[in-house]
Amino acid sequence: MTSFVITVPGTFGVDITDSTKSTLESALASQHTDVSESEGLDLLTLNEDGTFSVRLEVEAPDRYEAELNASRILTAALKKAGIEESDAPLGPPAVTGIDSDI
């Protein structure tokens, strides 16, 4: 297995309170580990115009599975934070870091 840092962009169509942001970050915290923390990456970047990006570290056999897993994790975290999928459309995930024993 390989550790991938995946960046998933999106846009909030609703206002995000500090409480909602905190709940979202808590739901994603387990995906912010060795590689992403050592690189000093922020888990969630929220811009003034409502756009955001989330950087998650996931274990997967390949890039495709890593991107799918990251999207699933983010979708579940958004739901847990009370944000409907239609209120936070996601853009295509991208690999922004890889840590492999190979």
Write out pLDDT tens, residues 3-31: 898 999 999 999 999 999 999 988 888 76
Determine how many CB atoms are found less than 10 A away from the CB of residue 34. Answer: 10
Determine how many CB atoms are found less than 10 A away from the CB of residue 59. Answer: 14
Domains of the chain (ranges plus CATH)? 2-99 (3.30.70)
**99 pairs with which residues across the strands?**
3
How far is residue 56's CA from residue 35's CA, in Å, rounded to a whole number? 10
User: 0.95 exceeded by the pTM?
Assistant: no
Is 11 exposed, middle or buried, given 0-12, 13-18 or 19+ CB atoms closer than 10 A?
Answer: middle
Query: What parts of the chain have a pLDDT lower than 50?
Result: 36
**Token couple for 53:** 């990006």
